[in-house]
Structure 1
């Protein structure tokens, strides 16, 4: 298959083959011809952040060894609860993830890695292995693939500007010079596309916040649908690139659920769809079909437990309580931006040609059809504190539940927000402790078929309960509330 002339990845352009087909020998050639001097093996740790192991390029033999064999690392320093007397684990590069590092002192080839234990088996509690197992179990049971992508919000923090100062809550898709941070957004887009991360767009978000000594300007970047394993990796890479570019501009970037006493927090909404043989399985001629409604029901039925992965810090629950568009009630609706699950407007094949013709009088150019129908279901529970691999793994578990449960269609009908008030529905947890209780009650669902190891669920529960213990009651105490916000400033 020929490579698209607009392909942004220098590695794919050079080698003339898709990323999914790359081999270790291919990457050796790329290192030689692109003049790269270092290889960075990267992996996602137990805290959800990207870690790095750097190797200098000293010979072709050593380079190929690193690219194929990987390395050993200390698992006890990566994942909580790992025994130090048996903690050596392997990290093995996934060649399809290779990209040229846009940062650093030396031109480098970077690859994401997977974890394996001493017997060569996938490490049960490694993040990428959990979401892989969840995705495989769903496909094995249903014959469908869960694809997903995130809408990731973040704030850039800087000193207030005298020229074209920002206006509070007026940032939505604002343009320069009123928008602050557009150069950061554009550089992030450029780096991520060259790295192979599929993106939709980036724009300014609503949340402009002005304080006495700083301004906080909110942005959003939206990705493209890919299988959930890749979607989780893409979100981790996106956070890393946003922070790197912001730091290069002397700015601080934060994905914290709540950033101030005023204004919006940072959500992480995840869109998803089920695909069978290249076709979108959740949509029919009249919109969302029964498979789509079963998917919605699975998310709603599992929502309280999913907060354990998507809302991991005390400020997550302050955001639920205080945010204008933050979800609270466990319900869903079409095009409604306040529901927990939303079915967004999709391009309608019946009306699209008329719109295009009206916008472009006299044009006879045919309207292109996407390979897969773009309809998605949007789960709005997550925020910037989410452990994205576990959240997407949990969504795959919830999807299986919805597709298998005989009562899913009735549940979806009952939880439709169209004719009800939000108070008519069950509510999301109001604290880390309640979230832990919800996961505890549902742990058998997540542990089924070995998707979530029991020890990993125990660690998540312990983390939530410790956070609850240390948070205290900040209601009516602005100073304590600000201190709590700052404590969780760099989550995710």
Structure 2
């Protein structure tokens, strides 16, 4: 297959093959020809953040060994609760994830890695292995693949602008010079594209917040659908790149779910679709079909428990209370932004040619048909604190439940905003989220997806965070201290 002339990934262009076909030998060739001097093995730790293990290149054999064999690391320093007496684990590169690091002092090749135990089996509590197992179980059970992507919101924090000052709550898709941070957005787009992260677009988001000594300007990056395992990695990479680029401009970036009582927090809405043999299974001639409704029902059935992975800090629940479009009701609707699950406006093949012809008089150009169909289902529960690998793994578990539960279509009908207005509520605190997960833990632990020890750790962390926060809702100073405590999450 020839490589597209617009391909932004330099290693793909160099090798003339898609990243899915990369080998260790291919990456050695890329290092040689691109003049790279270092290899960084990257992985997601137990805190959901991207970690780094840097290797100087001593020889060709040394380079090939690092890229194929990987390294051993101390699992007890990566994952809480690991026994220090038997904590050595293997870190093995996934060649298809390789990219040229756009930052750092030395030109470097970066590769994401997977964890394995002493016996060579996938390390069950490693983030990437959990979401991979969840995806495998879903496909084995249904024959379908869950694809997903995120809408990643963040704020850039700076001194108040002296010229073209920002206007509060007027940032949605604002343009420069009124928009602040456009250069950051554009550089982030360029870096992520060259790293092999498929993107839809980036824009200014609604949240402009003006305070006495600073301004907070909200932005959003929307990615493209890929299998859930890749979608989780892409979100972690996107957060890393946003922070690096912002820091290079002397700005602070935050994904915090609540940044101020004066404006919106940062959500992390996840779009998803089910695909079989390259064809979407959630949409038919009349829009969202029964498979799509079963997917929606699966998310709604597990909604409370999913907050344990998508809303992990006390300020997550401030966002629910403060935000005009933050969900509280466990319900869904088509094009309705108040529901927990939303089916966005579809690209209507019947009306699209007419719109294109009206916008471009005299044009006879055919309107391209994307494959798979771009229709998605949007889960609006998550925020910037989300443990994205666990959230996406949880969504795959919930999807399987919806697809296999005999009552899911009736549930979807009952929880539609079109016909009802009295719904169950999401948890209102970390402790409530922990209770919801505990009540559903068998669902997530089934088929060896979520290890019981990891579920225990999530429950303990949520309840401890809730206890430490206390009652911060009655005191503005206490609230501000809590917001600052969870300023850099995920």
- Measured against aligned partners, the alpha-carbon deviations of 1:461-489 in whole angstroms (never above 9, x if no partner) come to 01101101101001220000000000000
Query: Hey, what does 1:485 align to over in structure 2?
Result: 483
What CA distance in whole angstroms lies between the structure 2 residues aligned with 1:360 and 1:106? 49
Alpha carbons 2:152, 2:267 under 8 Å: kept: yes
What CA distance in whole angstroms lies between the structure 1 residues aligned with 2:393 and 2:473? 34
What CA distance in whole angstroms lies between the structure 2 residues aligned with 1:489 and 1:392? 23
TM-score w.r.t. structure 1 length? 0.99
What CA distance in whole angstroms lies between the structure 2 residues aligned with 1:142 and 1:200? 28
Does 2:353 match 1:353? yes
Which deviates more, 46-55 or 411-420?
411-420
SS at match of 1:188: helix
Does 2:449 match 1:451? yes
SS at match of 2:440: helix
- Measured against aligned partners, the alpha-carbon deviations of 1:32-68 in whole angstroms (never above 9, x if no partner) come to 0000000000000000000000000111000000000
Query: Hey, what does 1:430 align to over in structure 2?
Result: 428
Query: Hey, what does 1:78 align to over in structure 2?
Result: 78
What CA distance in whole angstroms lies between the structure 1 residues aligned with 2:284 and 2:328? 29
What CA distance in whole angstroms lies between the structure 2 residues aligned with 1:160 and 1:418? 43
What CA distance in whole angstroms lies between the structure 2 residues aligned with 1:468 and 1:264? 22
Query: Hey, what does 1:114 align to over in structure 2?
Result: 114
What are the equivalent positions in structure 2 for 1:325-344 lying under 5 Å apart? 325-344=325-344
RMSD over equivalenced CA pairs, Å: 0.5
What CA distance in whole angstroms lies between the structure 2 residues aligned with 1:300 and 1:247? 38
Alpha carbons 2:261, 2:322 under 8 Å: kept: no
Query: Hey, what does 1:59 align to over in structure 2?
Result: 59
Query: Hey, what does 2:285 align to over in structure 1?
Result: 285
What CA distance in whole angstroms lies between the structure 1 residues aligned with 2:172 and 2:428? 28
Query: Hey, what does 1:6 align to over in structure 2?
Result: 6
SS at match of 2:152: strand
1:419 Cα deviation from its structure 2 partner: 2.8
SS at match of 2:147: strand
- Measured against aligned partners, the alpha-carbon deviations of 1:145-176 in whole angstroms (never above 9, x if no partner) come to 00000000000000001100000000000000
Query: Hey, what does 1:206 align to over in structure 2?
Result: 206
Where structure 2 has 5 or more consecutive residues not aligned to the other structure, the ranges are none
Query: Which consecutive aligned stretches of 4+ in structure 1 deviate over 6 angstroms post-superposition?
Result: none
1:346 Cα deviation from its structure 2 partner: 1.5
What CA distance in whole angstroms lies between the structure 2 residues aligned with 1:152 and 1:338? 19
Query: Hey, what does 2:127 align to over in structure 1?
Result: 127
- Measured against aligned partners, the alpha-carbon deviations of 1:4-49 in whole angstroms (never above 9, x if no partner) come to 1110010000000110000000000000000000000000000000
What CA distance in whole angstroms lies between the structure 2 residues aligned with 1:122 and 1:180? 44
What CA distance in whole angstroms lies between the structure 1 residues aligned with 2:265 and 2:316? 9
1:88 Cα deviation from its structure 2 partner: 0.4
What CA distance in whole angstroms lies between the structure 1 residues aligned with 2:23 and 2:322? 50
Query: Hey, what does 2:177 align to over in structure 1?
Result: 177
- Measured against aligned partners, the alpha-carbon deviations of 1:404-463 in whole angstroms (never above 9, x if no partner) come to 110000000000011333xx1000000000000000000000000000000010010011
Alpha carbons 2:171, 2:205 under 8 Å: kept: yes
Where structure 1 has 5 or more consecutive residues not aligned to the other structure, the ranges are none
What CA distance in whole angstroms lies between the structure 1 residues aligned with 2:156 and 2:322? 21
SS at match of 2:418: helix
- Measured against aligned partners, the alpha-carbon deviations of 1:194-227 in whole angstroms (never above 9, x if no partner) come to 0000000000000000000000000000000000
SS at match of 1:135: helix
What CA distance in whole angstroms lies between the structure 2 residues aligned with 1:256 and 1:160? 20
What CA distance in whole angstroms lies between the structure 2 residues aligned with 1:425 and 1:322? 19
What CA distance in whole angstroms lies between the structure 1 residues aligned with 2:181 and 2:346? 29
Query: Hey, what does 1:473 align to over in structure 2?
Result: 471
What CA distance in whole angstroms lies between the structure 1 residues aligned with 2:69 and 2:262? 50
Query: Hey, what does 1:464 align to over in structure 2?
Result: 462
Query: Hey, what does 1:313 align to over in structure 2?
Result: 313
What CA distance in whole angstroms lies between the structure 2 residues aligned with 1:384 and 1:136? 26
Query: Hey, what does 1:269 align to over in structure 2?
Result: 269
Query: Hey, what does 2:31 align to over in structure 1?
Result: 31
What CA distance in whole angstroms lies between the structure 2 residues aligned with 1:229 and 1:419? 35
1:259 Cα deviation from its structure 2 partner: 0.2
TM-score w.r.t. structure 2 length? 1.00
Alpha carbons 2:189, 2:202 under 8 Å: kept: yes
What CA distance in whole angstroms lies between the structure 1 residues aligned with 2:333 and 2:380? 12
1:240 Cα deviation from its structure 2 partner: 0.2
Query: How many correspondences in the alignment?
Result: 490
What are the equivalent positions in structure 2 for 1:82-97 lying under 5 Å apart? 82-97=82-97
What CA distance in whole angstroms lies between the structure 2 residues aligned with 1:336 and 1:290? 19
What CA distance in whole angstroms lies between the structure 1 residues aligned with 2:161 and 2:322? 28
Query: Hey, what does 2:245 align to over in structure 1?
Result: 245
